[in-house]
Amino acid sequence: MSTARQTEDRDFDTDLIVFGGVGQGFLEYPQPHYAKMRARRPLLRVPGAVQTTTRAALDSALRDPESYSSGMDGAPLGNDRPLIPLQIDPPDQLKWRKLLDPLFTPKKMAALVPQITEQVNALIDRFVDRGSCDFTNEFAIPLPSTIFLRLFGLPLEELPTLLEFNERTQRPPGARSAEEQLAARRANAQDVYRYFAGVISGRRAEPARDDLMSVLLTAEVDGRPLTDEEITDISFLMILAGLDTITDTLTCSFKFLAEHPDHRRRIVEDPSVIPSAVEELLRWETPVMTIIRVARRDGAIEGCPVRAGDAVLACLGSANTDEAEFRQAQLVDFDRNPNRHVAFGGGIHRCLGSHLARQELRVALREWHRRIPEYRLPEGFVPRYSDGLRSVRNLTLLLGASA
């Protein structure tokens, strides 16, 4: 690597930076920008941070928790205590994964398929005869949200409140500067803490149910029951993960399919391709573009110096389109095998809910294309993307074949 790439870069184009987003063009079609980043600045130093764009560099950061922390300093969300287990480093992180991983096994998530199928079809019933739908608000938001609330044991009528918590965490309304965003997130976190304090207090006074909240209320760690604060910190993370990332993936995936009829017809004509199609769409679209680690000591990633306290901005989206890892990386190939994408992260903090996400995405593609094989974007449609967690906020679909 050249000396220029090992030191702090001051002469780079703004579209070489992923973190925070750089405009709607980048967010709609980020893959060409990722390729440009890998070619020109595979590792980019900016003040206080290093951005990685290659798969090798990303693996170096995500698979070395002794050098790179996932603690609270990496992504300030306004919380007073670490989100469990995401913002916990080893060795304590291991005990929390040991408690939580068995709740989200492939077998347990597969048992939810009938429920997911019922919910998918109930949502489709509401608009299938209308000829169009607001895909984001009528399908992509309510599907994972409803499944999550039922799984967790929270009242369905609480969904608007929980969605607001999530939105205020991910995209604080009206906050422009970093200071304003952090202040808004801190205020929101206090609302989340108060909400779950009420939920937990009420549930402790009730008989146990068959849901995740009851499991947490009766679980033990280190030979003792979980505290209310620990249950809250797990719940806080789960509403962030359960109410947004699958929605984001659905909107990005269906926009791609609406624009690529050959790929859509492949799913319609051969539903057996759906599991691999889900993996390839996760690779190509990668809604969670970047995750953050913080260097615990001085070191280097792929020859680029990293100083203690630096944020490492690990770009999942770019790593997922890295030609050094994927054959014909710029081609969306539903037959790709193997497909070692990192849409769910990597290392010890790999997404706890990945098996649930896969089941929801597979059922959604199967049932949708069974009932609605033809759909398209309206003429002149202009998508509006959110950054950070990349999602089409206004995806509208016309249903049926074009006239």
How confident is the chain (403 residues) per 10-residue block, as mean pLDDT? 40 55 83 92 89 96 96 84 95 96 96 97 97 97 94 93 90 81 92 96 94 97 97 94 91 98 98 98 95 95 94 96 97 98 95 96 98 97 89 97 69
Residues 31 and 330 sit within 8 Å (Cβ to Cβ): yes
Predicted pLDDT of residue 3: 32
Res 2: pLDDT: 34
- Residues with Cβ within 8 Å of 297's Cβ and at least 6 positions away in sequence, in order, are 67, 308
d(CA 329, CA 157): 43
267 near 277, Cβ under 8 Å?
yes
**Sheet of 132-134, strands arranged across:** 132-134, 396-399, 375-376
Query: Which DSSP string do the residues of 201-267 spell out, in sequence order?
Result: HHHHTS---SSHHHHHHH-EETTEEPPHHHHHHHHHHHHHHHTTHHHHHHHHHHHHHHH-HHHHHHH
Radius of gyration of the CA atoms of the chain, in A: 21
The amino acid at 333: D
Could you tell me if 22 and 14 are in contact, meaning their C-beta atoms sit under 8 angstroms apart? yes
Q: What is the pLDDT of residue 4?
A: 33
Q: Among 202, 228, 249, 223, which residue's Cα sits nearest to residue 354?
A: 249
What is the β-pairing status of strands 220-221 and 299-301? Answer: unpaired
List helix spans (H) across 260-401. Answer: 261-269, 274-285, 316-319, 354-371
Is the distance from CB of 247 to CB of 391 less than 8 angstroms?
A: yes
Residue with tokens 């951005």: 51
| DSSP structure class, residue 137 | I
Domain boundaries, the chain: 3-399
Could you tell me which of 242, 263, 243 has the C-alpha nearest to residue 253?
Answer: 263
* C-beta of residue 303 within 8 angstroms of C-beta of residue 2: no
Q: 3-399 falls under which CATH superfamily? A: Cytochrome P450 (1.10.630.10)
